Structure 1
Amino acid sequence: MARQRATALLVDLDGVLRRWDEAVVAGVESRYGLPAGALVETALQWGRLQPVLVGQVSHADWMAQVAEALAGPAGGLDRARDAVAEWQGYRGEVDPDVLALVREVRAAGLPVGLATNATDALDADLVTLGLTGEVDHVFNSWELGVHKPAKEYFQQACLALGTPPERVLLVDDDDRAVRGARAAGLSAYRWNGVADLPYLRAVLDY
């Protein structure tokens, strides 16, 4: 039996709706004498990252921990803090093609949710990116207390969307999130880039 077309959309932020220019990060690392990839790798170390994704610590505290971890390679704590601050001043860029899809889906009357593992800095980021009001719901792991790919995350999202899981489509660039969504009963598509947009339009019911 063919699966029904989706009547609600969940779109990931980082890697889908928001793009990051790796050259910006590389430039900061170069200026501060940090090894290539050090900023992101240090920030994403799971023991450091997980607490901020579920609201146990603030974004500011997380970045303070990153600076402390980098203090040696950066040449001192003050210099490491400056490097982190400069890095954090860059908030990425909106993918205009994905935003166009979001607007198209909403204009057709289907609800759209932003499904992101984020921090308490998310609201400010949405303002900076001009995304305030562009989706019907924002599902921030920091506020929910649970992060993708947990089943509970997707259950809460579907409930808020007022849509049964089997009619919700998640678009995400993380394989774990895609698998988690499918395990929770949703349709889920692994985002590879704008070439995927025709397929997504075909599986959404509008």
Structure 2
Amino acid sequence: MVRERATALLVDFDGVLRRWDPAVAAGVEREYGLSSGVLAEIAMQWDRLQPVLTGQVSHADWMTSVADALTPSVGDAERARAAVAQWQRYRGEVDPDVLAFIREVRAAGIRVGLGTNATDLLDADLAALDLVGELDVVVNSSVLGVHKPAPEYFRAACEALETAPSQVLFVDDEDRAVSGARVARLSAHRWSGPGDLRYLRAALAY
């Protein structure tokens, strides 16, 4: 079956538009005598992560739960909270190649949405990274109450873009999200880095 040409773009935030320097977390872990990778390991435990991604708890509450779980490792609750706070001060970095691509796409008249599983800190992060106004729509799982790869998430994203699913190109760095988008009838591309931009330009054909 020949797919329709995409007339809108939906991009993931973490891992595509925003990237994280792993050295930051590693530095905090060394400073506080923690095992390598433990901060992300605790934060990403699904029973802890899922409620914050669907707006059931706040980002602040999520980080409090991470500090509580970390306390036995550092032996002191205040020290655990300090470690988490120091880790959280770093809010990542914008990938300049992806941002330039988004600007190029929008200048060509194509609507661009941010499709992300995020917390209630997303708006503040977008402001801190000077991304306010760089996207036509922002689709945040914690606002919707449902996260990728659920079909309901992608339906809401397409509605926000005012574009039929078959005409939306979705870009994400996680296989499950890409698969979910395809089930919801979007075109979807598994992001591996800025080298993919040539393909995406051709797919959008602007």
With normalisation by structure 2, the TM-score equals: 0.99
| Aligned residue number for residue 183 of structure 2 | 183
Write the distance in 1 (CA, Å) between the matches of 2:22 and 2:184: 33
Counterpart-to-counterpart distance in 2, 1:156 and 1:120: 18
* Structure 1 gaps, min length 5: none
Pairing 1:46-125 to 2, within 5 Å after superposition: 46-125=46-125
Given that residues 7 and 163 in structure 1 are in contact (C-alpha distance below 8 angstroms), is that contact kept between their aligned partners in structure 2?
yes
The residue identity in structure 2 corresponding to 1:21 is: D
- In structure 1, give the amino acid aligned to 2:124: A
Deviations 1:88-111 (Å, cap 9, x if unpaired)? 000000000000110011111110
Measured against aligned partners, the alpha-carbon deviations of 1:142-179 in whole angstroms (never above 9, x if no partner) come to: 00000000000000110111111011001000100000
Q: Deviations over 1:8-54 (max 9, x none)?
A: 00000000000100011100000001110000010000000000000
**5 Å matches for 1:114-193?**
114-193=114-193
Which residue is equivalent to 1:2? Answer: 2
Q: Please report how far the alpha carbon of residue 75 of structure 1 lies from its aligned counterpart in structure 2 after TM superposition.
A: 2.3
- Structure 1 residues 99-124: Cα deviation after superposition (integer angstroms, max 9, x where no partner): 01100111111100000000000000
Q: In structure 2, what is the Cα distance between the partners aligned to 1:91 and 1:201?
A: 28
Following TM superposition, by how much is the alpha carbon of 1:205 offset from its aligned partner in structure 2, in angstroms? 3.5
Question: CA separation in 2, counterparts of 1:132 and 1:100?
Answer: 14
User: Shift of residue 74 of structure 1?
Assistant: 1.9
Identity %: 69
User: Separation in 1 of the partners of 2:11 and 2:175?
Assistant: 14
SS of the residue 1:138 aligns to = strand
Q: 2-side partners of 1:29 and 1:128: how far apart?
A: 24
Secondary structure at the aligned position of 1:197 is classed as helix
Q: State the number of aligned residues.
A: 206
Paired with 1:21 and 1:50, the residues of 2 have a C-alpha distance of: 23
> 2:202: which partner in 1?
202
Secondary structure in structure 1 of the residue aligned to 2:85: helix
Distance in 1 (alpha carbons) for counterparts of 2:28 and 2:195: 31
CA RMSD, 1 decimal: 0.7
CA distance in 2, matches of 1:80, 1:100: 39
Shift of 1:2: 2.4
Cα distance in 2 for residues equivalent to 1:161 and 1:127: 21
Residue 3 of structure 1 and its aligned partner are, at CA, apart by 1.6
Structure 2: 5+ residue stretches without partners: none
Q: 1:7–1:205: 8 Å Cα contact kept in structure 2?
A: no
Query: C-alpha distance in 2, partners of 1:57/1:205?
Result: 41
Mapped partners of 1:47, 1:79: distance in 2:
24
